[in-house]
Every structure is written in structure tokens, then in C-alpha cells.
Structure 1
Amino acid sequence: MEKEEYIIERFDDEKVEDISADYDLQEEDDSPIEEVRVTIPNTDDPSMPCNTFRMWFLGLLFTAAVSFVNQFFYLRQTQISIGYSVVALVSLPLGHMMARFLPTREMNLFGWTFSLNPGPFSIKEHILIGTMTAVNTSTAYAVDIVILQHLFYDDKQPFIAGLLLVFTTQVTGFALAGALRKFLIRPAHMIWPSTLVTASLFRSLHASSTATSEDNGRTSRMKYFLLVTLGSFIYYWFPGFIFPTIGVLSWICWIAPDNIVLSQLTGSNGLGIGTIALDWSAASYYVQPLVTPWFAQVNILIGFILVAWVMVPWAYYTNLWDSKNYPILSAGLFLQDGSPYNKSMILDNNILSPEKYREYGPMRMDSFFALTYGVGFAGLTATVVHVILYNGKEMIARWKSARAENEDIHSRLMRVYPEVPDWWYISLFVVSLALSLFTCQQFNFMPWWAVLLAMAIAIFFVLPVGIVQAVTNQQPGLNIVTEYVIGYMLPGYAIANVTFKTYGYIVNVQALTFTADLKLGHYMKIPPRIMFMAQIVSTLISGVINLSTATWLINTRPNVCTPEGAPFTCRSTNTFYSASIIWGAIGPARVFGNVDGAIYSPVQWGFLVGAILPVPFWLLAKKFPNVAWLKYVHWPVLLAATSNMPPALPYFYTNGLFIGFVFAFLIRRYRYDWWARYNYLTSAALDTGVAICGLVIFFAIQSWEGPAMPFWWGNPDGPTDHCPHGGANYFGVSY
């Protein structure tokens, strides 16, 4: 009875008799995992339509739209990303509308007979539509390489070169996902917690769409979503166009705007202490305050304060590494005197000349950037040690469980559907690998042997990292490892470094992204072959749109990826560029080692510090099991808190975490009914309204040579936060 009451609380729109029917089954006819039992139904209807015209039409439509929107906003100062929940909510009424109005007669296309309207819009169609867009929610990582070559290295490759690079890095990971099915999808104990949230969303939406009186006088989910989206759309005209200053209210700085230290500490381009952002796109992008669990946000808050407000001011104002010559927060690279580092002075045909490097002088970065790398090193080893200590025994047990292929009810229900043959995945991998070798060799991205080494790193780590993610919902990143390896093996080659990182890191990420979606399909009983085709087709289309959008913007927007090109300042791409110089053009030996005046070698102690930090807290938790807070100290999350800075700015975190405190803690604790019903809808609706308004502002106003918004106090011709020295160095100099 307690289980039934719990389900009713989570899915209050479902009929009680349906829930009761589920739990009349015997224990062996359900999942052995409690979280899965209360979230995923242990029944299936194989006759439910999924491979339909509606699914393909809406799936491809949203794939194209989301790929364009996310790539478009990726290059903007404040980034917006349309995610799974938005697509799920918007596509639902469209699916029902097509089911109502499309003709039911059968069509014949190349021997395939189908009906445009096979009946009511099903949850399986809906999940496939969401999956087609979800696998491409993050823009293709390789697009940044194309932008780098075009804008920063003046090496304009043909469009087909970038397209092949995008295709191979995105699709190869999917080929690897096929090899993981036996270990990460079929076993019951490979939970993939994030997929349970997605399954909950779809089940709730379809429960509410079929129930007749589920609202009980409350605003329906769809009406609430549309109202909040409209409000978000109307409001974003102010921070996005009319009144940008309300997006960065650095009010403390206004006390003495000419005070350099005060500007650095409180300005939006500095440490942002006290800065208020009445702009959802800034407050939500990195923290996702309505979605991230509160315990994780607390770890993020502690990690942020320790790095951004304790370590960085200490390092900067004690002039560690000549910090005062540089801004307090910047992804830029400098000479020792603080002037910008001119890479053309050290490169010959985009390859490092050691003689020119020694003559020109060693590269410098601000203390924030350097310390961020040190914290990143610590985060990598802390993740490994944390997982061994806290999840080691559980991981071994689940590994044995995976090898034994202990099948639960969901695996048995999936037997009715033909599995994707192994040769499909093998063929895809062989083709992807061949194209990768051809692309990198033909267009001089990196040598052929580097392709094989990068693939070997991705393949070696994909299963252990996948087990970690499937069990703990944490994914250790391989970007630092890949940059380190190729930086020592092939120093001086910037493009080769970022290309190697993309193949070694993103292939691994893509493999696990695809695997998570396959697990969702496993839970919701999607035929594997249809899932395979939907993922492949959407990935190829998304890659074309990502690259085309980025190419269009860099060819048409003046001064793109520079401060003068606002709002297209490309914060993430500029950080990617700086990393290409640090790890590639100059190399880790000259930055973090002891070659040619390297001074940042102490940050490598982060590897050791990260390995040590989890140990005492694990021992204390074992010794004092009744001290609850010790169980919530999560060093991998804490150390990863500032991993996005730069390009992220500190005020993004403070404002996002405040919103998280309101929604994830206060409202969830004291207004749980509202939180359970509307919290995720609120986040999705705010994202949607901001994205639509941003597109309207750009295409209706900013892309035309017409009257612009007049300058006034709320839209100044200068720093939006009215804090002129926030991005200057200690002596007030801005380069």
C-alpha cells in the first residue's frame, strides 16, 4: 500500500486502478530496483504505433529547429539551450493535432505501405521525437574547431572538411554504444538515473492528456506552460533588448565606479559579488536551478565560494604569478606585462617555433584561469577516488551482475522486438573510423596515428566511465587527459591538439549519451531498430545544421567572436581557443612543466590533492554514520563547480543558486504539490520564452540595418553593468 501511495503522489494524474493493476504482479515480474519499480511500468503493448509519419515529421522538424536554435545561441554572450523537456511539451499538442486531422488512408512510398494517421498519438512516438532532438541538444563539439581555424588561425578549410569532422566525431560514439548494450542497458542494476526523470516526464504528460478530470480545479499543465512561456517571451524584451542593465545589476560597484578593486570584486565581468541578474538566460544556463538537486547545488555553492571568492582573491591580490598585470577573470592569454599575447609571433604556418617563443616570451594567464586548471586536475582524480571509496563494492557487484546478464521484466519484455544486429554497429564503426582517418589525414587536422590513439583512449574508458555514470549519474571527463597526452606527444600543433581532444573526449561522451537514450528506449519498450534509425538520421541532420548555422554567422556577422561583435562574443569558443594555445600551440611542458620559463607547474599538485580530499571524509562517514551531512559531501561535484569558468561568469552561479534555493529547497519542502506539478514545466517554459524572444529580436531587429535601440542609462554605450573597470587589470588598464 505504501508503494501505491508513493506512485499516486508522483503521478497524480494517473488512474488509481491502473497503478493497482501494476502492483498485483509478483515481485519476480518487476524490476529489483525500487526507483525503477515506482517509475517505469512493467507492461508493454507491442501493437502501439511508433514508426509513423507523425514521428518522423515532428522528430525531424524539432531536430532541425533545436539544432539551429542551440547553435545560434551558443555563440552569443548569454547562451540558451532548448532541451528535452521543452521538445516533449511542445510536440505533445502537435502530435495530438496530427492524430485528429491527418487522413487515415494508406500511402505507398518506395514499397513501404503506411497510414498517415494510424490512431491516437502514442507515448512511444513521443519518446522517439524527444530522443531525436535530445541526442543533438548539445551542439556538435567539432564545430568549434571549424570556427577556430576560420577566425583565429586564418586556415579556411572547405565546408566538406568540417562536415566530415562533425559526422565522424558525433557518429563514432554511437557505434561504440552498440558494444555497451550487454553491460550498460540490459542488466537491471544499470539504472541510468537521468533516464528515470525523462520517463517520468513522458508518463506524466500522457497521463494528463488522456485523463478526463485530472486537474481538480487546478491550472492544467499545458495551459500553465503556455502562460509562463508567454510571460517569459514578453519579459525577455527588457534584458534582451530594451533594458539590458537589469540583466547585470552590479549595484555595489555603483558606490564608487572608478574604484578598480571594487569593480573587480563586484562587477559582472569580475567576481560579480552582489551582482543581480534579472535575466533567466544568465541565471539558469550553467546551474539549471530548477532541475539540479539541492544537495548538488550546495556542493556547487561551496566549491564556487572556495575557488571564486577565496582562492582567486588571495592569489590575485598577493600578485601570485604577476596576477595584477591581468584582469581578475579572463580566458585571454598575455605577456608578462599584461599586453595581449600575439600567437602570430610564435607560430610558423600555425606550428610553434621554439626559437620565436623564447624570443617573444612565455605565455601568461590570469590566476583564475590557472587555478581552474588545477581544480580541474583535482576533480579528475577526486572522481576516481570517490567512486572507488563510495561505490567500489557496489560497482564490482554490478559488474558481475552485468556479466551474468541478470534480466528483469523489462529485458524480458524487450525480447519481442528484433535487436539491432551487431554487424550494423560494427559496420558503422568501421566506416566512421575510415572516414576519420581520411578526414584527419586529407585535411591536415592531425596524423593518422593520432586518430587511432584518440580512439583507443575513448574505447578504453567508455565502459568504466559508463558504469560510473549508470550507477552514480556522474561522468568523469576525459578532456584534460586527452589534452595532456597529445600535448606532450605532439607539442606545437594547436589544431591537432583540439582535434585529438574531440576524438578522444567527445566520442566517449557521445557513446554514453546514445547509451542513455537506448536505456530510455529499453525502459519504455521502443523497438531497438527504430531507435537506431531515428538516432542516426537525426544526428546526421543536426550536424549539417550546426555547422551551417555557425558558418553563416561567422561569414555574415561583423567582428563575430570579439567584444565588438556583441552579442555574438563566443565565450565558449574563446575559451576553446585559449586551450588550443595552452595545450596545443605552446604545449603543457612550456606551461605546466619546466621548459622555457614555465611558471604554472604548481597547479599539477591538483592531481594529488584531488586524490587525497575524499579519503578523510569517507573515513569520517564510516566512523560517524549518524552524521548525515558527511554523506552529502561530494568532492567530484564540489571541485567541478567552477569547471565552466571561464567562459561562465561568477554572477551566473550566484543568481542561479539563489533561484535554486527558492525552488529546489523552499518550494520543494513547503509546497511539494506545486513543485511536483509545475517545477519542471516552469523551467521548460522560461527556456522556451527566452529562446523564442531572442530569435525574434535578432531576426526582426538586429539582423537588419535599421534603427537600433537608443542608448540610455538602461542601454549604455559601454559596459552594461556601469562598472567600467570590472574587466581591467589591477592598474586600471584594459586591453
Structure 2
Amino acid sequence: MEKEEYTIEKEEYITERVDDDKADHLDADYDLEEEDDSPIEEVRVTISNTDDPNMPCNTFRMWFLGLLFTAAVSFVNQFFYLRQTQISIGYSVVALVSLPLGHLMARILPTGDFHIFGTSFSLNPGPFSIKEHILIGTMTAVNTSTAYAVDIVILQKLYYDSEQPFIAGLLLVFTTQVTGFALAGALRKFLIRPAHMIWPSTLVTASLFRSLHTTTELQEDVGRMNRMQYFMLVSFGSFLWYWFPGFIAPTIGVISWICWIAPNNVVLAQLTGSNGLGIGTIALDWAAASYYVQPLVTPWFAQVNILIGFILVVYVMVPWAYYTNLWNSKNFPILSADLFREDGTEYNKSLILTNNVLADEKYLAYGPVRMDSFFALTYGVGFAGLTATVVHVILYNGTEMLARWRSARAENEDIHSRLMRVYPEVPDWWYMFLFVASLGLSFVTCVVWDYMPWWAVFLAVGLAVFFVLPVGIVQAVTNQQPGLNIVTEYVIGYLLPGHAIANVTFKTYGYIVNIQALAFTADLKLGHYMKIPPRIMFMAQIVSTLISGVINLSTATWLVNTRPNICTPQGYPFTCRSTNTFYSASIIWGAIGPARVFGNLEGALYSPVQWGFLVGAILPIPFWYATKMFPHVMWLKYVHWPVLLAATSNMPPALPYFYTNGLVLGFIFAFLLRRYRYDWWARYNYLTSAALDTGVAICGLIIFFAIQSWEGKMPYWYLNPNPNLADPNAAALDHCALGGLAYNPIPAPV
């Protein structure tokens, strides 16, 4: 049978620039016409509008390399997760390393057919294809973030002395990872098929893979650098440059130049130091500047919302609260995730627990927990962000959601949805069976091994289901994801105060199930763009998720059982920074409980932040109403309260200068270049983001494995200061030591 190509080509090349307002328009009030390209500009310039259904993808090469990288990345990322310096191998590194291996297998594997159980297949069906490559990347992308539930297992063994058998932890990992995947099937009609649900981060990945597989020069490439050459050049430049902020001269990653005017002035240091509010701090480090904002990927209207939210919280609310000494703020640093006593000394959590449960008499004798005003205010803003997300999606997307619910396939489709018709869709019952099975195992796991009561399982998953669509719509359009960690901790903290393990387990089921659902949905959207058969994508995701879960937990268990003093300063480099933060959260939300911190029990100091729930629910309403009253006032349509209120959700641990530097780059790339150098932006923007990520990742791995893992160090000099110097400003990385300290000095011990 001759190879047939199912191809729809453009009838004409679009040369006229689309107006920014149309390109970024969020509402679904346009007609999705039967045209031969996407109506969304960002998709048009990045994703091909052709497909070859006969291109091999479900091959031995794909499964061999996919499983190999799944195992390797799962081990490496979990290993480094527990270390002081965390490194995560991501999409771009796997894409680069797997490409030559795929081509090598296409050269050396036998081409003959094999017959097993009446089925004929070939180990080598032809050249290594982009679809095989994307499936390999998708399988390993599941492991970029380690399984969240592993931290619960570590907490029980190291902090609460209540270790459970390995099978209990494994089921906890499996159920929290897979239940979210089951939800992704229900989101397809809302978050994958609609053209205006673009998922900006998938465009970066698609651009990377297309560039790696470009083999012919297009007419538009004549006389210009092709995408593969550009990608390799930028990646190499990023690799070379990262040696400076990553190893040779770390100070250039945190240039707090304003603080240098008077580094001993505590107010100036707190406002301009990199460990304070970071006003004016320059970060010549792509890893820091792209940490949260993702400036080349996030749409400009979303970055403007982030900027406004950032300014309101970091530059208005926090200085006001801190320097008016609200909640005795001056006793603490201006920005910190640590917990304190009222006088600013460290809060010793072990002095308030008996058998890992809060002892009321000990707590009352020792005193209530305190946090800095920044930390408290960001919780309040986070509360507002959650309710704003629900109200915003109901107002702005409610009509469309109902229409799609009633008739998911009745509307016209864009070119990518029409091209996908040739592939059999995953039946709904597959996802339903997976959801029921994983929910049943969740119930058994939590009840048998006493993680939390049976009703808490259904409540946690119910919260994840309730929020998954509104959060998904926000992420699909803006590339920002409001998290559910706060609301899950809040809910179970009130229902089961004093039970730390139940708190973190409930948070994991409510928060991670939501996160996993959207992560899998993003992968499905990438498959939609790149025309991957849905059933093959389904199997690749399921298999890699189960394998990565086993390896994550096995690696963590091995380290915990073999490394002395792990997760303590004496266990360096295995100090478990993230796990210790997880433990602190289990104390404040679980052991102590939100009633004593944010509620009305025993005069909770931070109770006013709960008004955030009401404020967030109200804020979107007048702006939505204004868009109806004044439809020609375009800027009103771009006010996005979920993004605006979620702007500071990562702080702490994220630092303010991450945002300011990222937003400056966003202004250059997402606004100036897009508007005034559109041809360059359309051709290279997303590819630039992927190339910069790749260079940093490869350099970071080499620095660690080739130098730091062998105890190698860069000699100390001005741009790599010695932390042991007597002069604290000379010893600080940004030469601004007071930026991370309290306004009022901590009292000397008696």
C-alpha cells in the first residue's frame, strides 16, 4: 500500500500583521471559521498546518528511548531534589540528547518485520520522526517535577517517626499522580479542542522540536539563518554565559547596585537588596529572570496584570505594613518564609508537640507562631486569587463552557482539530475507569494506613475537580496557574486541627491532583498541535507516570536509609530545603491549624487576611460589568484579576527581583519586538526561550557533575565573595547583607 499523506495547505500566505487586540483577545465571541490555519496568531507562526498520519510514532525506538529517559530523569531529579543545590533535567535537555540516539537507532536497527501473536511490526520503520521524538519528550516531562507525595513519606520517617510500609507510600504516589491524569480526559472539549485555548508553554516546546527536525530550507529561509542554526547558536551562547552567574561570578546574577550607595543603611538594604524587595536589582541570569514570569512565553496582557499585582503587593502593601510595624513586622525580615516568635527569634516547633500532635498547654506556654507581614499578606492575596478565579471564569467564560458542555463537537473547528479527526480518540470510558480505579485505591490507601479519614479523600478530590476547569482556563490563556495549596491546607486545617500528616495528605490530593490534571492536559495540547495519535499519547503518559513514581519513591527511600543526618544541616549536601519547607507548612496549617493563625481562636493575629476570600470574589464583577457597558474601551477586556492576584503567589520562596527582571524582558520581547519587529518575533521568539533554557540546563549539569560533585570550588574574589569574611557586606553575594535581616535586631540570648 502506497504511503498517503493527509495534507491541507494554506491557500495564501498571511503577510498582514494582525492587530494586537485581536491576537490577544480573550473572549470567545469570534467565529471560528473553516479556514486552513489557526485563527490565533501565536499558533499560526509556530505550528505547522499540515500532517502525515502515516509518520511512525508508536515504535520500538520510541518506547525504548522513552522508558530509558523516564528512568534516568526520575532518578536524577529525585536525587537532586533532596540536595542543597537542586537541578532538574527538563524537556529541552532530553530533546537534545535523545535526538542523536534516535537517529543512531534508525541507522543500526534491523529493518525486517517481526511477527508475534499474529501481529507484524518492524524495529526500524524508517527515519527517526518528530512524532517519536515528541512522545519521548512527553514521557520524560512527567518526571520534571518529582512526585509530590514522596515528601509525605519522608516526613513520616524523619520528622514524625511514623514510618509506613513501602507499598503504602507507593500507592500514595500512584493515586495522587494518576487521579489527575484521569481528570484530563474530561477537560479535552474545553481546554484542548478550542482554538483560543493556546497553552503558550506548549508553543515553546513545539518550536523546539520543529527546529530540531527541520531538514529542508524553505523559501522563506533563503538568505536567513534557519531555525536549527539559530537554536544551536543561542543555546551555545546561553551555555557559555551561564558559567559566569552559575559559577565564576555569581554576583552578576544579583547586582543590587542601589544598595551599594549605603550598604549599612537598613531601610535602603531592605528595599533594594536581592534578599529584600530588590528595587533596582539587576539579574544577568536567565534562570532567575525566567523563574516565574517566563517573559518570552507569557502573553503581554498577562504580564501587565502581573506587573500591576506585583507593584500593589510588593511596592505598596508590604512597605506600608512593614514600616508601620503592622503585626510587629519590624522584628522580622521584610521577606522570609521562616516562622518566628514575637521577639524575632526562631520558632522551635518541637517544643509545642507531643507525639507529633499539638499540645495545647505547651503551645500556650511557648507562645503563638509569627511570620513577616509579606508572608501573611501573600496568603491573603492568595485567598483572593482563588475566589477571583472562580468568579472571573463564570463571568467571562461561563456561556461558552455551557455551550461546549451541551454540544462539544457542534461548533466549527480550526485546522488542527480537523487534522486530528483522522486519529481515533481515547474513549471517555478509559478515563472514567482510570478515575474510579484511582479514587478507589486512594480511599483504601488513606483509610488502611491512616493517612486521613475516608471523607477527606472525597472532599480533597472534590476540591481538585471543582477548581480544575477555571484554573485550567486561566493557564491555557495566560500561562499562569493559580495554585490550590493554600485553600486545601486551609480547609483541612479547620476540619482536622492538630493532625499534620492528614493536612499534608489532604493538600497533596487536592493540590497535586489539580496540578497533574493540567500538566497532562498541556501534554495533550502539545500532542494536538503536533498531531500525535491520542491513544498512543494516553499509553505513553500512563506507563511513564507509573514507572517514574516507583523510581522517585525508591530513590528517596534509598537516600533516607543510607545518608547519615539527611535533611539536616549536618547532612550536607542532602539538606532537603523543599522538604523542610513542606514540614513547616505541616506545622503551621496542620499541627497549629489556621484557626490559631488566621481565624478567631485565641486572638489569632492574622485573621484580617481572610477577608481576601470576599475581596477576590467581588473584584472581577465591576470590571466585567464595565466591559459590557463600554465595549469599545479595549483595555477593560485585558484586566484579568486571577492573574493579577496570583502575581505574588510564588513569593516566598521566589524573590521580587525575579519578577522585575523577567517583566523587563517581557516588555522587550512580548511587546516591543512583537509590535515593531514582528517578522523576527514570529520566527524566533519561542525558539529563543527554548534555546536559553537548554543552554542553562546543560551548563548547570556540567558545573555540578564535573566540578561541584568532586568538591571543586571557584576561587573567591569580589564577584564570588567568601561567606566567611568578617565584613558581612563583603561576604554577602549581593554585597548587601542587611537586605535579608530584620529592622529591629534580634535580642541577644540570655
TM tier, smaller: 0.7 to 0.9
Alpha-carbon separation, structure 2, partners of 1:255 and 1:461 = 47
Determine if contact 1:80/1:687 at 8 Å carries over to the other structure: no
Instruction: Say whether 1:143 aligns with 2:154.
Output: no
Question: Which residue identity lines up with residue 463 of structure 2 in the other structure?
Answer: I
Query: Equivalences for 1:213-292 in 2 at 5 Å?
Result: 215-292=221-298
Query: Which digits, 9 at most, give the CA deviation of each residue in 1:242-278, with x for residues without a partner?
Result: 2222222222222222222222112211111122222
Instruction: Say whether 1:728 aligns with 2:734.
Output: no
1:450 CA drift (Å): 1.9
Question: Which residue identity lines up with residue 436 of structure 1 in the other structure?
Answer: S
Determine if contact 1:177/1:512 at 8 Å carries over to the other structure: yes
1:712 CA drift (Å): 2.9
Query: Equivalences for 1:418-433 in 2 at 5 Å?
Result: 418-421=424-427, 424-433=430-439
1:120 CA drift (Å): 2.4
Equivalent position to 2:407, from 401, 411, 414: 401
Percent identical among aligned pairs is: 79
Determine if contact 1:589/1:598 at 8 Å carries over to the other structure: yes
Structure 1 residues 432 and 392 mapped into 2: Cα distance closer, same or farther (>3 Å)?
closer
Structure 1: runs of 5 or more not aligned: 11-25
Determine if contact 1:80/1:285 at 8 Å carries over to the other structure: no
Query: Which shifted more, 545-554 or 369-378?
Result: 545-554
Query: Which digits, 9 at most, give the CA deviation of each residue in 1:82-126, with x for residues without a partner?
Result: 554554565445434443444323356787643222112333223
- Aligned counterpart, 2:722: 717
Query: Equivalences for 1:117-196 in 2 at 5 Å?
Result: 117-150=124-157, 152-153=159-160, 155=162, 157=164, 159-181=166-188, 183-184=189-190, 191-194=197-200
Structure 1 residues 274 and 564 mapped into 2: Cα distance closer, same or farther (>3 Å)?
farther
Determine if contact 1:192/1:516 at 8 Å carries over to the other structure: no
1:349 CA drift (Å): 1.8
Instruction: Say whether 1:584 aligns with 2:593.
Output: no
Equivalent position to 2:111, from 92, 104, 110: 104
Tell me, what secondary structure is at the counterpart of 2:12?
A: helix
Equivalent position to 1:708, from 709, 713, 719: 713
- Aligned counterpart, 1:353: 359
1:192 CA drift (Å): 5.0
1:559 CA drift (Å): 7.6
Instruction: Say whether 1:60 aligns with 2:67.
Output: yes
Determine if contact 1:358/1:596 at 8 Å carries over to the other structure: no
- Aligned counterpart, 2:331: 325
Tell me, what secondary structure is at the counterpart of 2:654?
A: coil
Structure 1 residues 39 and 273 mapped into 2: Cα distance closer, same or farther (>3 Å)?
closer
Tell me, what secondary structure is at the counterpart of 1:402?
A: coil
Question: Which residue identity lines up with residue 730 of structure 1 in the other structure?
Answer: Y
Alpha-carbon separation, structure 2, partners of 1:557 and 1:282 = 31
- Aligned counterpart, 1:5: 13
1:708 CA drift (Å): 3.1
Query: Which digits, 9 at most, give the CA deviation of each residue in 1:63-96, with x for residues without a partner?
Result: 3454455556656778665554554565445434
Alpha-carbon separation, structure 1, partners of 2:442 and 2:281 = 46
Alpha-carbon separation, structure 2, partners of 1:557 and 1:74 = 14
Determine if contact 2:174/2:546 at 8 Å carries over to the other structure: yes
Equivalent position to 1:614, from 609, 620, 623: 620
1:297 CA drift (Å): 1.5
Question: Which residue identity lines up with residue 723 of structure 1 in the other structure?
Answer: C
Query: Which digits, 9 at most, give the CA deviation of each residue in 1:530-553, with x for residues without a partner?
Result: 222100111123223444555566
Instruction: Say whether 1:372 aligns with 2:378.
Output: yes
Question: Which residue identity lines up with residue 459 of structure 1 in the other structure?
Answer: V
Structure 2: runs of 5 or more not aligned: 1-8, 19-31, 724-731
Alpha-carbon separation, structure 2, partners of 1:601 and 1:253 = 35
Alpha-carbon separation, structure 2, partners of 1:428 and 1:166 = 15
Query: Which digits, 9 at most, give the CA deviation of each residue in 1:440-466, with x for residues without a partner?
Result: 344443233322322233334445655
Structure 1 residues 210 and 96 mapped into 2: Cα distance closer, same or farther (>3 Å)?
farther
Query: Which shifted more, 718-727 or 509-518?
Result: 509-518
Structure 1 residues 271 and 111 mapped into 2: Cα distance closer, same or farther (>3 Å)?
farther
- Aligned counterpart, 1:684: 690
Question: Which residue identity lines up with residue 713 of structure 2 in the other structure?
Answer: A
Query: Which digits, 9 at most, give the CA deviation of each residue in 1:615-646, with x for residues without a partner?
Result: 33333333333333222221111111100001
Query: Which shifted more, 207-216 or 405-414?
Result: 405-414
Alpha-carbon separation, structure 2, partners of 1:355 and 1:517 = 50
Determine if contact 2:197/2:473 at 8 Å carries over to the other structure: no
- Aligned counterpart, 2:307: 301
Query: Equivalences for 1:88-99 in 2 at 5 Å?
Result: 88=95, 91-92=98-99, 94-99=101-106
Determine if contact 2:87/2:701 at 8 Å carries over to the other structure: no
1:605 CA drift (Å): 1.0
1:573 CA drift (Å): 4.2
Query: Which shifted more, 244-253 or 318-327?
Result: 244-253
Tell me, what secondary structure is at the counterpart of 2:121?
A: strand
Alpha-carbon separation, structure 2, partners of 1:722 and 1:37 = 47
- Aligned counterpart, 1:517: 523
Question: Which residue identity lines up with residue 289 of structure 1 in the other structure?
Answer: P
Alpha-carbon separation, structure 1, partners of 2:376 and 2:629 = 36
How many residues are treated as equivalent by the alignment?
A: 718
Determine if contact 1:40/1:199 at 8 Å carries over to the other structure: no
Alpha-carbon separation, structure 1, partners of 2:581 and 2:128 = 44
Determine if contact 1:7/1:38 at 8 Å carries over to the other structure: no
Structure 1 residues 86 and 563 mapped into 2: Cα distance closer, same or farther (>3 Å)?
same
TM-score (norm 2): 0.85
Alpha-carbon separation, structure 2, partners of 1:132 and 1:433 = 23
Over aligned residues, Cα RMSD in angstroms? Answer: 3.6
